[in-house]
Structure formats: structure tokens, C-alpha cells
Amino acid sequence: MVVHSLCLLDPLINFISILIHQARSAAMHHFIFMMFSLLLITGLQVSIQTVEKRVERSMDRYYISELTVPNGGGWGSWGQREMCPAGTYAAGFSLKVEAPIDGDDTALNGIRLHCIASKASSNSFRSYSTVQSDVGSWGQWTDIKWCPSGFLTAFQLRVERSQGDGDDTAANNIIFRCSEGYLLGGGTNWGDWGSWSQQCGGKGICGLKTRIEPPQGRGDDTALNDVIMFCCN
């Protein structure tokens, strides 16, 4: 993040360097040098603040429990935990799904949680934030599905077990339980539904972490294999 911001300052740094070289008086040379130093320090401060804000949003929120299911796939590695902003909870979700291609299918590639404030109206979701952990490389995002009221509180995962020499897809779809009612994702249909996760003991789900297998080149791709949800008061 800091390196990226410094790269944005490169054109300005080059311009000021030319001015310093062409300055005819010591006073002008000193003034330009001071302005250059001030701009450089300001750029570094902005970069550091951006990094700190990003870490605070994604990592520092306190959660009371983790929700897991026993049938998740075992390929790939776990991404970073991503949390809804403080005071908000997941009331909706969307999926990244690769439609069947009659080849190396990957099915479910990503999950997004859409978070609203605890006092927000259940009839209007105009103001919300979106969080996601690691995501696979294939597919398109579905439309958002919202709880009729309240927040997401538990989930169930549809997973295809290992196919041996056949085409593996791992996770295919997800269904959430809301404070009232259920929401079925628009995933694919390979595999079987596992058992439900535990129910959130707090207000609702407030974050997630996904297990993603990276592209395997000429090998068999599966993308999203498993997910952990986090609950907050």
C-alpha cells in the first residue's frame, strides 16, 4: 500500500527535482526543497493511515463464536477473516458461481456478505457495506438476497465429495437461516447438503473466511471448498 502511494507521487517528485536543478538563487532552492519534503511526508502519512484503517475493518472486530459445517472440501488454503464494520451485521448475501461448462467445472467460487446497521429498516437496504474473503477465479456474481427481517444466523453447505479421477467441484451452493425465514443461494446442484451449522448466539453473522483452491493449470480446479462464519453481539 505504501509503495503504491509513493508511485503515485513519482511524477510530482520528478517535476520538483527539475525545479531544484534550475533554481537560480539559494533562497528559491531552499523553498522548493522544503515543499518537496512536506509533500513526501504527507504522502507517507496518508498511505500509513489507509493501511491502518483497512486492518481495523477486517481484523479487529470482536466476535463471540465461529460457525462451521462438517462437510466442507479439503483443497486449498484459508483466506483472511473479513468482518462487517462495527455495529453492522449480515442481512444478505450473494454468490460468485460458474455455470456448468461441460468441462472442468468449479461451481461455487465466492461468497459476499452484505451488512446493515442493527437498527436499519428491514424494508430498505439502500445503505449497506459488503465484505468478502478470498474468491475463486471463475463465474459471475448473483443478485443479492436479503433476509425478510433480522440477520443471517446459520448456514448449510452443498458440497460434492471427491470424484477420484473425475471432475471435482467441491462447494456448490449455500443456504442461510435468517432471524425469520431462509435464503437459498443460486449455486449449482452437484453434491449433497450437509448438516446445519450451529445457530448464532449473538445478533447474527458478522464476518466470514473462505477456503479457496488456486488455479491448478492443467489440473482439476475446485475454487471454493469451505467457509467459516463469525457471529457478533
Please give the pLDDT value at position 189.
Answer: 97
Instruction: Judge whether 210 and 226 are in contact, CB under 8 Å.
Output: yes
115-125 confidence digits (pLDDT tens): 999 876 555 57
Supply the mean pLDDT for the chain.
Answer: 82
Length of the chain: 233
Burial of 169: CB neighbours in 10 Å, binned 0-12, 13-18, 19+:
buried
For residue 23 the three cell numbers come to 533554481
Q: What is the pLDDT of residues 129-184, one digit of tens each?
A: 999 999 999 999 999 999 999 999 999 999 999 999 999 999 999 999 999 999 99
C-alpha 69/C-alpha 212 separation (Å) is 16
- Report the alpha-carbon distance of residue 152 to residue 196 in Å, rounded: 13
